[in-house]
A and B are shown apart, each in its own frame.
Chain A
Amino acid sequence: MSEVLLQAEGLVKEYRSSRWPAPALRTRAIDDVSLEIRAGETVGIAGESGSGKSTLIGAFCGLVRPDAGTVRLAGLPLYRGRRFQRELWRSIQLVFQDPYTSLNPAMTVAQNVAEPLLLWHREDRRDAESRARELLDQVGLSGPLVERRPTTLSGGQRQRVSIARALAVDPRLLLLDESVSALDVSIQAQILQLLMDLRAERELTQVLVSHDISVLKLFCDRVIVMQHGRIVEECAAADLEPELVSEPYTRQLLEAVPRL
């Protein structure tokens, strides 16, 4: 079995909402979550809204500072004290949900993708941009489009740009936070196919957060089901069938999915 790439232990994140003069309301978005992700694996995180799945993926990339617990990437802690180790963004990248807000509208498509090369790899502008064009070509974008601003692109095209940008630093872990949920079915299929091809080409570990069980079943090796900030089920994606799962909540969730 391959090495453990990401290891989370006892992660807790609590949000406080002030209800002054009443005492503040504390909600545990993630509550004592531990899990291991092995190199080369594709893991899905399922759950309904408020289950803590996006908070968890945020804790894996420095966007959500956990209140307790540790996360390590190949043995290196992500957080020292309360500080996220920014250098780890060379190895961990995230693709966001909304393709319409995740690209800088003041830069061209190629400049957006060149940004991490320019800043993390300290390449000069010309090298970075020509490398960016290669990356864009790999995700299926080429021609005059790459010199345009992202505002002229469709949602699917923008998501391809986001993927190219995330891959620019050649990360080991690619986090996908509902990255295909806002797309139409046919575009979603194109992006899923792209991500699966990339997985085969590079030794890329992918973690996909989604509310769509059928996408996770198709895309992932292993799926984690969350409810109220806790992991309630962990199984192979192929075993996500109402008859096979052990947890009543998971069964309820699977049975609610409309069948075609």
Chain B
Amino acid sequence: MATMSKTRAADVRVEGLSLELDEPGVAVGEAQRLVRDVSFGVAAGEMVGLAGESGSGKSLTASAIAGLMPSGVRRAGGTILIGAEVCPPGHRHPDVAMIFQNPMTSLNPSVRIGDQIAEAVRLRHKGTSRSAARKRAVEILEQVEVSQAASRARQYPFEFSGGMRQRAMIGIAIARDPAVLVADEPTTALDVTVQRGVMDLIDRLRTDLGLAVLLISHDLGVMSERCDRLLVMYSGELVEVGGTRQVLDQPAHPYVDGLLRCIPDRAMAAGRLQPLLGQVPPPNRWISGCRFADRCGSATPACESAPVPLAPLSPSAQGREVRCIHPLTPATAGERSAR
């Protein structure tokens, strides 16, 4: 297979990113916050999972990195670095590509798949001839494992199945020769058997092209199989960061612990379902202290009174950070499940 050689490996760094509602007449930094002080990095060739429920701000964070922020939202602070380059707000960095949950809304229904990929190639490599771009498009379709790529390239999106469309979208993404791939719920709309194939593909492209992949999902199952590290967001903040296995096997934040107990697989193992009570608070009800305090079993008055920093769990735990003043230890976690 003719894979273009990949030289520009780059990592992403997000530092202190804050997003807010774009309210006219309100000074930057003063409007309703939607995401607060998010910092993390994704190295080249690494897949990092960003998990959270709806309203956690995970998709907004992802769109900010790709420079595709929805209208009505603006950056209140923080920096995004692609390699060594600082990405100003609203700038679509050419090395960052993004794929979405619903490929049908991102594909142009009246343009052949091959032409859509070729267009992305020509946008990235100015001066590529039409025929060369077409040839490259067929190569890319082969690369994303679409069989009979040459004839498939001449088809329209409606002739593709859901999984095939997502592969075509990934094709358009890699036509940009990206260093970073932001995948926002890429398999949520797909059947499980198809989901596995698409995730395998993203995984393979990550190793083949040395992509830094940020996978946004609500599905911890998918992440546990694919991601090296896991970031969990709640109410616009990162609440727990660490190696995927560590976070999933020994969660330190009570929210992450509670969330895991809601997952049917875990509930089966535990013999009962222990739903997290209450709901995620809307942004206009966010407090400066711990936003999970009102749903938390181990909350104390100190939790709500002052902002809780994202701090290392212990000096020995490498890269393990948690935003909690009463983090769960293996001992207390056992106590909790026995309760």
Contact = CB atoms under 8 A, between A and B. Distances in A.
Interface stretch (A2-10, A69-77, A130-138, A213-221): A213-221
Contact of A196 (B261, B265, B273): B273
Interface in A142-191: 154, 156-157, 184-190
A252 B266 CA distance: 22
Contacts, number: 91
Given A218-B268, A218-B273, A259-B225, A185 B193 contact: no
A14 to B, nearest CB: 22
Interface in B96-132: none
Contacts of A186: 53, 258-259, 262, 275-276
Contact of A260 (B53, B195, B248): B248
Contacts of A157: 279
* Interface class of chain A by DSSP: helix
A260 B262 contact: no
Contact of B196 (A187, A219, A256): A256
A257 B218 contact: no
A48 B196 CA distance: 13
A260 B221 contact: yes
Contacts of B266: 260
A79 to B, nearest CB: 31
B224 A185 contact: no
Interface in B254-278: 258-268, 273-277
A189 B267 contact: yes
Closest 5 CB pairs of A and B: A189-B262, A258-B221, A189-B275, A48-B191, A184-B53
B192 A185 contact: no
Interface in B237-267: 248, 258-267
A68 to B, nearest CB: 28
Given A185-B263, A189-B262, A190-B275, A217 B268 contact: yes
Contact of A184 (B218, B225, B264): B218
B220 interface: yes
A188 B264 CA distance: 10
Contact of A258 (B224, B273, B277): B224
A179 B264 CA distance: 15
B222 interface: yes
Contacts of A154: 279
B228 interface: no
B269 to A, nearest CB: 9
Of B220, B224, B266, B267, most A-chain CB atoms within 10 Å = B267
A49 interface: yes
Nearest to A185: B262
A156 B195 CA distance: 26
15 contacts: A48-B193, A49-B162, A184-B53, A185-B263, A186-B275, A188-B262, A189-B273, A190-B275, A212-B264, A214-B268, A217-B264, A256-B195, A260-B220, A260-B221, A260-B266
